Amino acid sequence: MSAARRCCPPRALAGFFVWRLRNTGIPQIPCRFVHLHHVANERLITFQYFNFLKRMYVTQGNKDLSQRAKPKSDSIVSPFHELQLLDQEKKVVHKISPVSPVHQSWSETSSRNELTEVKSAAETEDSVIPVGSESKEDRRWKEMKLRLDDLPGILARLSKIKLTALVVSTTSAGFAMAPVPFEFTCFLLASLGTGLASCAANSINQFFEVPFDSNMNRTKNRPLVRGQISPLLAVCFAASCGIPGIALLTLGVNSLTGALGAFNIFLYTCCYTPLKRMSIANTWVGAVVGAIPPIMGWTAATGSLDAGALLLGGILYSWQFPHFNALSWGLREDYSRGGYCMMSVTHPGLCRRVALHHCFALIGLSTVAPVLDITTWTFPIISLPINLYISYLGFRFYRDADRSSSRKLFFCSLWHLPMLLLVMFTCKKSVLEKEDKGDLRGGSHEMAMEIRLP
């Protein structure tokens, strides 16, 4: 459910990490857990995934251009004139200068194609070109009829399935780190329940944000924005995912996990989503949303809220800040126009400071892990290089405050988290070790007792 301002992809646990992209605005979903508005990637997987994600990220950003792509070699013939005619037809009093050559050449070429096919009389007789453009416009009108074939794809996009997968993977990480013998059915139920809860929260988030999503590049191709699904259906889908999901967690796992899941849905849909447009506090709320899934994984395994759960949650919480703040640095224009209250726009100094502080916090939290008996002492040692590297990039971002440093920090955060979780898992203190220690202590106790008694 992480705020997928960006997109996120999913993957199974055992050494496979994926990361996600994301949204502040844009977006976010339960994966807001992982990120905000934006697409957030959580797990790092293989290089292929990395590329796949980057491609998704890039393609999403370029959907505009990629839909209209035409070789630049096409000649540009009086596009200005064409546009002016269209303009006058629409009676818009706004001077339009030529748009990008790509767009112009595309409309020019397609209208030439249209001319050979369109035999009906043109409405405007001065030039045939507007007719071609008009039917090109006409073709962009779509019937609002739901086709069952399209439904799975639409629902996947509505629930931000990739982001959901990332959220489920953080839950699995929490489950795996819990110091109890691994129970496969419990693991499955917890993952499924969390996934359903994440889908529900993401759908409600999209339901609330339709006009805002339309106005941001990253989110303008969402199903509700495009009218592929009605708001009623989106809400019904959310209910049909959320209710079984929470029920599954409460009845199939334990009530604590169910309560956390329900709370997280509430936090994401009713606190984070409206707060995005009211105050910069949304970032902190969103970070909590991102921190809860691993806690849920832990409580699913152990049934209680231990220090270990809070530590894992703390790591995810701290990670959100360098991740999101770096990403939001490049989206300031969209946020400003869309009316989103983000630190990067209103308090840029705070934005960079907070990112840096939380990079340091990650080092601190990694050191606390062995103290709480979650991992061995090799964990802070092995994780120190990657934590120091992200802190270094955080410092560069803090000092330079420019696009290149923000991008470096963002891309680093994408592989940093999966790697940190993987290292944590490999350094996990085995349950057997702990039991041995316990016996030893108990044994020495008994011996002490024996000595005392005559």
Partner 1 sequence: FTPFSRAGRRDDALVATRPALGCSPPAFRPAELKPPQNSEAPAGLGFRPPAHSHSDWIGPPDKHSNLRPIIFYVPPEESALERRLREARQEAQASNQRFWARHNLAFCQEKEEFIYSRLKAKGLEMRDESGQKATLNAEEMADFYKDFLTKNFKKHLQYNRDWYKHNFRITFLMGQVALVRALRWLRRRKKNVEQ
Q: How far is the CB of 199 from partner 1 (least distance, A)?
A: 18
Q: Using the minimum distance from each CB to partner 1, give the nearer residue, 319 or 340.
A: 340
By the rule CB under 8 A, 71 interacts with partner 1: yes
Q: Using the minimum distance from each CB to partner 1, give the nearer residue, 170 or 405.
A: 405
By the rule CB under 8 A, 207 interacts with partner 1: yes
Q: Rounded to whole angstroms, how far apart are CA atoms 167 and 4? A: 10
By the rule CB under 8 A, 81 interacts with partner 1: no
By the rule CB under 8 A, 399 interacts with partner 1: no
Report 259-278 residues binding partner 1 (CB under 8 A).
274, 277-278
CB atoms within 10 A of CB 305: 14
Dig out the tokens for 124 from the structure.
């405007």
Q: How far is CA 184 from CA 16, 181, 188, 304, 375, in A?
A: 18, 10, 6, 18, 22
**Contact 36/288 with Cβ under 8 angstroms?**
no
By the rule CB under 8 A, 210 interacts with partner 1: yes
By the rule CB under 8 A, 76 interacts with partner 1: no
Instruction: Find where tokens 């139920």 sit.
Output: 189
Segment lying near partner 1 (by CB under 8 A), choices 206-214, 249-257, 295-303, 422-430: 206-214
With vertex at residue 89, the alpha carbon angle to CA 87 and CA 95, rounded to the nearest 5 degrees, is: 20
Q: Is 168 exposed, middle or buried (0-12, 13-18, 19+ CB in 10 A)?
A: buried
Rounded to the nearest 10 degrees, the angle between the axes of helix 184-208 and helix 151-158 is 90
Q: Using the minimum distance from each CB to partner 1, give the nearer residue, 98 or 303.
A: 98
By CB under 8 A, name the one of 140, 147, 441, 452 that touches partner 1.
140
By the rule CB under 8 A, 407 interacts with partner 1: yes
**Contact 294/316 with Cβ under 8 angstroms?**
yes
By CB under 8 A, name the one of 117, 125, 126, 138 that touches partner 1.
138
By the rule CB under 8 A, 89 interacts with partner 1: yes
Q: Using the minimum distance from each CB to partner 1, give the nearer residue, 202 or 375.
A: 202
Closest C-alpha to 38, from 55, 53, 21: 21
By the rule CB under 8 A, 334 interacts with partner 1: yes
Instruction: Find where tokens 């996120």 sit.
Output: 8
Instruction: Find where tokens 């950003």 sit.
Output: 61
Instruction: Find where tokens 């990650």 sit.
Output: 362
By the rule CB under 8 A, 349 interacts with partner 1: no
By the rule CB under 8 A, 92 interacts with partner 1: yes
What number of CA atoms fall less than 13 Å from residue 402's CA on the CB side?
A: 2
By the rule CB under 8 A, 84 interacts with partner 1: no
Sign of CA dihedral 16, 31, 170, 355: positive
Segment lying near partner 1 (by CB under 8 A), choices 74-82, 154-162, 217-225, 445-453: 217-225
Hey, which residues does 38 pair with through a beta bridge? 5
Q: How far is CA 430 from CA 93, 96, 135, 437, in A?
A: 72, 67, 67, 11
By the rule CB under 8 A, 147 interacts with partner 1: no
By the rule CB under 8 A, 153 interacts with partner 1: no
Closest C-alpha to 220, from 18, 63, 40: 63
Segment lying near partner 1 (by CB under 8 A), choices 160-168, 238-246, 317-325, 343-351: 343-351
By CB under 8 A, name the one of 225, 285, 359, 423 that touches partner 1.
225
By CB under 8 A, name the one of 15, 330, 364, 442 that touches partner 1.
330
Number of residues that bind partner 1 (CB under 8 A): 76
Q: Rounded to whole angstroms, how far apart are CA atoms 130 and 338? A: 32
Report 43-62 residues binding partner 1 (CB under 8 A).
54-55, 57-62
Q: Using the minimum distance from each CB to partner 1, give the nearer residue, 47 or 141.
A: 141
Q: How far is the CB of 193 from partner 1 (least distance, A)?
A: 26
Q: Rounded to whole angstroms, how far apart are CA atoms 390 and 392? A: 5
Dig out the tokens for 359 from the structure.
């990079």
By the rule CB under 8 A, 149 interacts with partner 1: no
By the rule CB under 8 A, 64 interacts with partner 1: yes
By the rule CB under 8 A, 142 interacts with partner 1: yes
By the rule CB under 8 A, 69 interacts with partner 1: yes
By the rule CB under 8 A, 88 interacts with partner 1: no
